[in-house]
Structure 1
Amino acid sequence: MNAVEIEQAISELAEQPFDPAEFPFAFLEAFGNKDATLKRLRTGATNGSDVAGGVCQRSNIHLATCAAGTVSATLTKLKDSPATTKNKVKFILATDGDEFQAEDMASGEVVACTYPDFPNHFGFFLPLAGITTVKQIRENAFDIRATSRLNRLYVELLKDNPDWAAADRRSDMNHFMARLIFCFFAEDTDIFNGSGLFTATVDQMSAKDSSNTHEVISAIFRAMNTKFSTPERAELPRWAGVFPYVNGGLFSGSTDVPRFSKIARSYLLTIGNLDWRQINPDIFGSMIQAVADDEERGALGMHYTSVPNILKVLNPLFLDDLRAKLEEAGDNPRSLLNLRKRLSKIRVFDPACGSGNFLVIAYKQMRAIEAEINIRRCEADRSSEIPLTNFRGIELREFPAEIARLALIIAEFQCDILYRGQKLALAEFLPLDSQNWITCGNALRLDWLSICPPTGTGVKLHAEDLFHTPHNQAQIDFENEGGETYICGNPPYKGSKYQTPAQRGDLEAVFDEVTDGWKLLDYVAGWIMKAALYGGKVECISAFVCTNSICQGVQVPTLWPYVFKQNRQILFAYNSFKWSNLASHNAGVTVVIIGLSSNEIARQKKLIETTRDGASVVRLVSDINAYLVPSRSIIVEKRGGRRDNIGEMDFGNKAVDGGYLYLTRDEKEELEHQYPIAAKYVRRVFGATELVRGIERYCLWIQDSDVEEAANIEPISIRLDAVRRMRSESKKAPTRAGANQPHKFEERRQVGNENIIALPRITSENRDYMPASLLPAGTIISSQLFGFYNKEVFLFSLLVSRLHWVWMGTVCARMRTDFSYSNTLGWNTFPIPPLTEKNKADLTRCAEDILLAREAHFPATIADLYDPETMPDNLRAAHERNDEVLERIYIGRRFRNDTERLEKLFEMYSQMVDGLKKSTPSSAKASTR
């Protein structure tokens, strides 16, 4: 369950009559406990409570219902209970149906409220559902409650108004929801004259059976679109005339309202009775946008981008510099005035703005700096000089675009109240501005220059309504002489295999005249390239959240040389971290943040790493390359072989057999039992799974000279016939050609009698070392593995080193959260210093020690042994010794960390490339900037 679903379940529980016997189980059910779990608690099988009326769930909660007036005493009993300690519970909870008390056993934080009010504290208990982003939810519990209720209203209205769900009317429905949100906010913040005016009017003027609810709301909307002192205003019902003129496009156009059922009317009134002063536009929009999207509604509550994560983009982009200038200005009036003028001309442009999170937070942060300037200049009441028109966005879908506009309006009003006071804020709020700063359209197809034009050009386009305008381009009269432009955002990621035809077309439109390798790129690459092209026309700095795969493997040479050709450099970057949301167990995608500027910006580069405890460590460096390593901008490209002849890595054998050449252990034993001679044609075979998890698998391995004899064995003959049929029916010519030799793997890389050092093509990122293995002669490896055939054992030492692991993790591609190894990219480019015979002997000894340490734990598999949490001490020590011996060959000591390892490896790779250019310039296969 996600946070919104939990909040809804808790609210429904609070609305039901209190049942002391049932409450503990209903409470646990609301947090996602399954029926089987609850059944065991009910029967007492897993209920460890020693308090009357109590239920104790191990590692979770100890709760009890009690007699009236004894809540505090019961909570004390729960706290002192031996069962509470024994079962290591996170929370204790007591209630009598009137009073509600709970305590977090780790922090000591307490909740004490009336029983009907406990849903307001649902975020307190979210660890019970495995949700770890609790702090953000607690701080924004209102946004989640409001989202939950708006979703229920939205679904109910569509059920009764199916025509509003059709494609041609969905925008009307979304616009209606935006109007409602504004009304709820306005009635609780005195924008309307009278607290609760909108909800109270609907309640009083619409019939209880809801038959005219839509007419009442429509009249209110007409009032807010009608100027005072006009004949139309006089025609409004008296009760509607008390509403102010709002317009700004929000209430222009059709005032149609969907029909309400009694249930929908009830939902509307319930939503209106929430305290909308608590709305936080930083995150509200990113959750509410899911309400209007059928596909996203199933993930309602997961659409949350935390403020700290957004600030990871905005702070190094420009906010850190502004704060530094504020500190530098001190109380100097002229310096403060210059900084205020600078603030007023800064433009923030998010070309994938969604519901406006980045823009809203940028605006609020800038207003805070401006407010401090005004205080220091003794001008605290001064109107803001930061216009909303300086916050631009592009969003593909209409509803999020509307919510983004609304979120910025709400943010502006809240900032005015905070920094100037309620009276001044209200005096200047209405009517809304009609300028449009959020463009609804496809960011990869639109011309960014027309949406955020070069400063001082005086671009004049026709202005239309702020809301309900699904424009393909921005429409604004804008001139901003000398202002700075900052591009930011969190564009859609989508790997190449998961893109829709339309998305692939978008990338083609961006890269068509740049590179023909765009089909390999993640979707986010389109925004990086557009920002680079835009930066060639407009002086700007851009920063995007991107999948870390954009800085790994083949995507680097496919994308970054063309970005750098646009006079771009990486100015700052965050290395990989989880961009989390509100999903259970803090689910998220691994991302990086990349800031790009022109080469003319000469400031020191910042490479920022997120530690395990969430802290950020900043390194000032002279260069950051496309792999986000502090090194010159060199691109690692595939090589057909190594130049030092140290050892060629080859593919395993590819069967293309329909599975008929493979045997399970049981099939092997049955075949050899019936036909003992068949044993000479059966070999142990390893793929990635067999290598890592120790699974036994076998294959038929028949030499050309033995085909006739092998075919006389009936089970083998049957299998060969099946391979022949399968291959002959293939659409691929090489496979059809292989039908003539069904006894052979389609691609054979080995004779079958070699010692093999094997490693998987796909391996988990969660290990600390490559799970390579030394396989005995006679073993066959499949195409899921790479191998060294009959090579010296010291190569094993190199493969399983930490140096090789970090190189692979940087230059090879990713497959979701796994590394996708490449011999041409991972091994052939791996820098290795010249090795003496003594070096090789030392490394061979290290390799043998690792293999012996593994053997000591037989039958533990590689998967068992290389679990970072349970890796045996002697095996880890053997690897540490291997790393020490190897790293002393590189630099005479151990490397301090992986960053230092990568710096050295890229330094060596640069020297290798430079050497190749001098000797054979035409054959060099690395591009540099």
Structure 2
Amino acid sequence: MNAVEIEQAVSDLAEQPFDAEEFPFAFLEAFGNKATTLKRLRSGASNKSDLGGLLQTNNIHIRTCAPGAVTETLTALRDSPATARAKAKYILATDGQTLEAEDLTSGDTIACDYTDFPNHFGFFLTLAGISTVRAIKENAFDIRATSRLNRLYVELLKDNPDWGAAERRPDMNHFMARLIFCFFAEDTDIFNGTGLFTATIDQMSDRTNTHEVIGEMFRAMNIRPADRAGASLPRWADVFPYVNGGLFSGSLDVPRFSRIARSYLLHIGNLDWTQINPDIFGSMIQAVADDEERGALGMHYTSVPNILKVLNPLFLDDLRAALEAAGDNARKLLNLRNRIARIRVFDPACGSGNFLVIAYKQLREIEAEINKRRGEADRKTEIPLTNFRGIEIRHFSAEIARLALIIAEYQCDVTYRGQKEALAAFLPLDAQNWITCENALRLDWLSVCPPTGMEVRHRTDDLFAPPLDQAQIDFENEGGETYICGNPPYLGNKLQSDEQKDDLRTVFDGRVKGWKSLDYVAAWLMKAADYGTRTKAVSAFVTTNSLCQGQQVPILWPAIFETGHEIEFAYTSFKWANLASYNAGVIVIVVGISNTGASRKRLYTLDTDGAVLEKVCSNINPYLVDGPNLVVESRREPPRDSAPMLFGNMPRDGGHLIVSREQMVAEGQTDPIFRYYLRPFFGSEDFIQGKTRYCLWIEKNQYEDALKSPLIARRLEAVRQMRLESKAGSTRDFAKVPHRFVQIQGTAGQSTLIVPRVSSERRPYLPVGLLDRSAVVADSAFALYDAPLWNMAVIASRLHLVWIAAVCGKLKTDYRYSNTLGWNTFPSPILTEKNKADLNESASQILIAREHYYPATLGNMYDPDHFYTDYAVLREAHDRNDEIMERIYIGRRFKNDTERLEKLFALYGQEQKRGLVVASAPSGARRRG
């Protein structure tokens, strides 16, 4: 269940007559417990309560009680030995009139009327496996509002199917935006009376004419007071103020309401809309109008701390430093206020406006502090909403972004100037509109946010009102600063639609080779760099970390550097996680670029506790390392003195040349010829997880003898048929030799080092290993045939792991090893024979340590939850290996991974200067077939 579904279930429970016996089970059901779980609890099989309540292990202890005994019951639950034994996270007591609960982990508590406890449902979300952030607990209203608006939206589309058609969907979305505004306005006295909009619908309509009543209210909000005399407005509609600003212009058509839809509407209106948080609400409500996103409704929350990872280093930190430096100096404060009033924030992928709203609220907070220090606390803001500009491709999201900014402005006015002043300045809405509904990658950004003085007109999709002449507005912003920010769509190259590929072509074709391999988000960085060549701006985006790893680096970053831009600040990889535990969170970075030539570059990392560490750098390279702007490109030859690393062998056999352990045992007993031609077969997963498979490996001169086995003959015939039926000509060609693999990269004379191509990012080391001469390596892994053992020591080092993480990229969150990008480019000093001997010994000790823990698999041993606690001998072997490696590089241990990467890139740069990084023919390997 997602948060919205949980909120609905909790609300339904609170509206039902209280049943003391049934409540605990209904409560758990509302948070997603399955029927089988509840059955076991009802029977007492898993109910551990010692107080006659319901106690679910590792979850919650609930007890209902007599009226007035809630507090003492909660105390009894807290003191219960069973609560401690069962490691309950929560305790809850209720008598059907009041409800009290406590989070035993954090110590947080709630106490409320029973009917009001749905407003606190976010307090309990971890019961459903949803890891919450504090903001959602404190703003459960936004989830509740989203839930109800979603039900209304779905019901209206069911009753008005024509409104769901593509040509009418913008009308439907605009109607929902109008409703949201009315709900907010009626609860904040903007409509000169609390609940006026909802009360009017309740009193003046039934299910047959609800649309007419709403239409008349909307019409009133579109008529200026001076024009109302001849407008024939009903008396009950005439009380609504003139709003307009484009929100109520154009068609005032309203969909028809069924009895159920009208009921939903009244329920929504009865919520307390003063609690709306535009930081959160906009992100969630946009999912209401998006069929693809509705399945994750309520999960579209981007936390303020994450947004501030972009906005703080982009410009807010600088403003706060200027505020601190100004102290109480009136002149300096005035200059800072004037500067803030001319700052433009531009989000070219603004969605529902999160970044713009947060930026606006942060600037208002700084401005308010300036006014306070200058003794002008009641002063009207000088920060115009027109300085917060966005481009958004989805119509409804663009409308919500505009509405979220309007609400944020009103709330800031209330906070910093008072309710009376806020109301006086609010209506009518400003007709200026700077949220553009278009494709940002097809639009010239200068038409939305031009250099001051440029005479261009802003293009729009007529969201709220026709725009004013932009040059007039920009003249007022003469000398201002422009900051570009946002969280554009990521989309790897295989997930892009044909239209999105065309978007990338528009940005990159003719200037960047290999652009088809780029993530979609790369186009925003390129457009920002191009924008920066035409007007002064600093840009920062949340992007996939793959843009600063692997093969995308040499494709994208040279083009950005050619525009004169540098990386001014960056956050290294972290999880951009939202609400749900099932929303695992994508691994992202924050990259800020400019062409200002700033000498002080800032690199931020998050430690294991989430604390932000800042490093001042002279330069940040495209791998987000303090160092020169190097680009690591593929090499065809291995490092000096090292063995070549080759792809494993590809059978392309339909599975008929591969034999499971069970098949080997069962069939090999009856067919010794079959067993004779089997060899151990290892891919990445086999090797890491300790799985054993075999393959038929038949040399050309053994073919006739192998066919004497009926089992082999049947399998080879199946391979032949499979290959003949293939669409690929190269596969069909191998039908004539069904006994052999299609691609044989090599086999060993003595031994093979195997390197998995994909490995979990959680492991502290890459799980390289040693196989005997009989083993065949599959194409899901790399192989080094008859390599010196010290090669394994290098690959198994922390130094090598951080290089692979930086330059090879990742598959989802796993390391994606590349022989040409990772092994062949790995920078190394010249190794002496003593160095090699020491590394041979340390590699041997790692292998011996692994044998010590047999039959544990490498997956078990290198699991970070156990590696440091359960496998001390292996940990010590790796530590010794790292000690030897790192002393070879700098004569001591490195302090951290950052220092490791800096050294490696410095060595790589030296190799480039010496001309050692040159592609050449690959070294040979023993080929057999």
What TM-score comes out, normalization by structure 2 length?
0.96
Shift of 1:465: 5.2
Whether 1:634 aligns to 2:627 is no
Q: Distance in 1 between matches of 2:439 and 2:470?
A: 12
Whether 1:673 aligns to 2:672 is no
Whether 1:365 aligns to 2:357 is no
Gaps of 5+ in 1: none
1:437–1:466 contact (8 Å) kept in structure 2: no
2:611: which partner in 1?
615
2:697–2:739 contact (8 Å) kept in structure 1: yes
Could you say if the C-alpha distance between residues 772 and 446 of structure 1 is closer, same or farther in structure 2, counting changes exceeding 3 Å? same
1:719: which partner in 2?
715
Is the partner of 1:175 in helix, strand or coil? helix
Is the partner of 2:406 in helix, strand or coil? helix
1:702: which partner in 2?
698
Shift of 1:403: 0.3
Shift of 1:467: 1.6
1:459: which partner in 2?
456
1:139: which partner in 2?
138
1:439–1:474 contact (8 Å) kept in structure 2: no
2:437–2:461 contact (8 Å) kept in structure 1: no
Counting only pairs closer than 5 Å after superposition, residues 518-537 of structure 1 correspond to structure 2 as 518-537=515-534
- State the AA in 2 paired with 1:21: E
Q: Distance in 2 between matches of 1:681 and 1:359?
A: 67
Shift of 1:789: 0.5
Shift of 1:749: 2.1
- State the AA in 2 paired with 1:387: P
Q: Distance in 2 between matches of 1:30 and 1:751?
A: 59
Shift of 1:802: 0.5
Could you say if the C-alpha distance between residues 114 and 751 of structure 1 is closer, same or farther in structure 2, counting changes exceeding 3 Å? closer
Shift of 1:430: 1.0
Shift of 1:611: 1.8
2:116: which partner in 1?
117
Whether 1:845 aligns to 2:841 is yes
Q: Distance in 2 between matches of 1:924 and 1:228?
A: 82
2:639–2:826 contact (8 Å) kept in structure 1: no
Whether 1:31 aligns to 2:31 is yes
What TM-score comes out, normalization by structure 1 length?
0.96
- State the AA in 1 paired with 2:329: N
Could you give the per-residue CA deviations for residues 80-107 of structure 1, whole angstroms, max 9, x where no partner exists? 2111111111111111111211122223
2:43: which partner in 1?
43
1:218: which partner in 2?
215
Gaps of 5+ in 2: 923-929
2:905: which partner in 1?
906
2:926: which partner in 1?
none
Q: Distance in 1 between matches of 2:724 and 2:72?
A: 81
1:219–1:236 contact (8 Å) kept in structure 2: yes
Shift of 1:474: 8.8
Shift of 1:752: 5.2
Q: Distance in 1 between matches of 2:746 and 2:597?
A: 54
Shift of 1:613: 2.0
1:822: which partner in 2?
818
Q: Distance in 2 between matches of 1:456 and 1:601?
A: 24
Whether 1:486 aligns to 2:489 is no
Is the partner of 1:298 in helix, strand or coil? helix
Q: Distance in 2 between matches of 1:676 and 1:247?
A: 88
Residue in structure 2 matching 1:733, options 724, 729, 734: 729
Percent sequence identity over aligned pairs:
63
Could you say if the C-alpha distance between residues 273 and 474 of structure 1 is closer, same or farther in structure 2, counting changes exceeding 3 Å? farther
Shift of 1:466: 5.0
Could you give the per-residue CA deviations for residues 593-622 of structure 1, whole angstroms, max 9, x where no partner exists? 000010x33231110011222221111111
Q: Distance in 2 between matches of 1:312 and 1:634?
A: 26
Is the partner of 1:757 in helix, strand or coil? strand
Higher alpha-carbon deviation: 576-585 or 251-260: 576-585
Shift of 1:704: 1.2
1:5–1:148 contact (8 Å) kept in structure 2: yes
- State the AA in 1 paired with 2:48: G
Figure out how many residues of one structure are paired with residues of the other and give that number: 917
- State the AA in 2 paired with 1:97: G
Could you say if the C-alpha distance between residues 257 and 744 of structure 1 is closer, same or farther in structure 2, counting changes exceeding 3 Å? same
Whether 1:596 aligns to 2:572 is no
Counting only pairs closer than 5 Å after superposition, residues 741-780 of structure 1 correspond to structure 2 as 741-751=737-747, 753-780=749-776
Q: Distance in 2 between matches of 1:463 and 1:57?
A: 55
Is the partner of 1:698 in helix, strand or coil? strand
Q: Distance in 2 between matches of 1:687 and 1:475?
A: 63
2:643–2:785 contact (8 Å) kept in structure 1: no
Is the partner of 1:842 in helix, strand or coil? helix
Could you give the per-residue CA deviations for residues 311-365 of structure 1, whole angstroms, max 9, x where no partner exists? 1100000000011111111111221111111111111000000000000010111
Could you say if the C-alpha distance between residues 66 and 707 of structure 1 is closer, same or farther in structure 2, counting changes exceeding 3 Å? same
- State the AA in 2 paired with 1:583: A
Whether 1:543 aligns to 2:540 is yes
Higher alpha-carbon deviation: 481-490 or 659-668: 659-668
Q: Distance in 2 between matches of 1:233 and 1:413?
A: 31
Shift of 1:740: 2.3
1:753–1:779 contact (8 Å) kept in structure 2: no
1:13: which partner in 2?
13
2:637–2:920 contact (8 Å) kept in structure 1: no
Residue in structure 1 matching 2:651, options 651, 655, 659: 655
Shift of 1:800: 0.6
1:463–1:475 contact (8 Å) kept in structure 2: no
Could you give the per-residue CA deviations for residues 108-131 of structure 1, whole angstroms, max 9, x where no partner exists? 322111111111111111121122
Shift of 1:516: 3.0
Counting only pairs closer than 5 Å after superposition, residues 415-494 of structure 1 correspond to structure 2 as 415-460=412-457, 466-467=463-464, 478-479=474-475, 480-494=477-491
2:160: which partner in 1?
161
1:97: which partner in 2?
96
Residue in structure 2 matching 1:263, options 240, 260, 263: 260
2:748–2:786 contact (8 Å) kept in structure 1: no
Residue in structure 1 matching 2:780, options 778, 784, 792: 784
2:269: which partner in 1?
272
1:552–1:812 contact (8 Å) kept in structure 2: yes
Q: Distance in 2 between matches of 1:845 and 1:339?
A: 64
Whether 1:81 aligns to 2:77 is no
Q: Distance in 1 between matches of 2:549 and 2:778?
A: 26
- State the AA in 2 paired with 1:853: A
1:577–1:610 contact (8 Å) kept in structure 2: yes
Shift of 1:415: 1.0
Q: Distance in 2 between matches of 1:510 and 1:224?
A: 43
Q: Distance in 1 between matches of 2:743 and 2:921?
A: 30
Higher alpha-carbon deviation: 77-86 or 388-397: 77-86
Could you say if the C-alpha distance between residues 275 and 892 of structure 1 is closer, same or farther in structure 2, counting changes exceeding 3 Å? same
Higher alpha-carbon deviation: 451-460 or 145-154: 451-460
Shift of 1:732: 2.6
Counting only pairs closer than 5 Å after superposition, residues 298-337 of structure 1 correspond to structure 2 as 298-337=295-334
Shift of 1:232: 6.0
1:360–1:411 contact (8 Å) kept in structure 2: yes
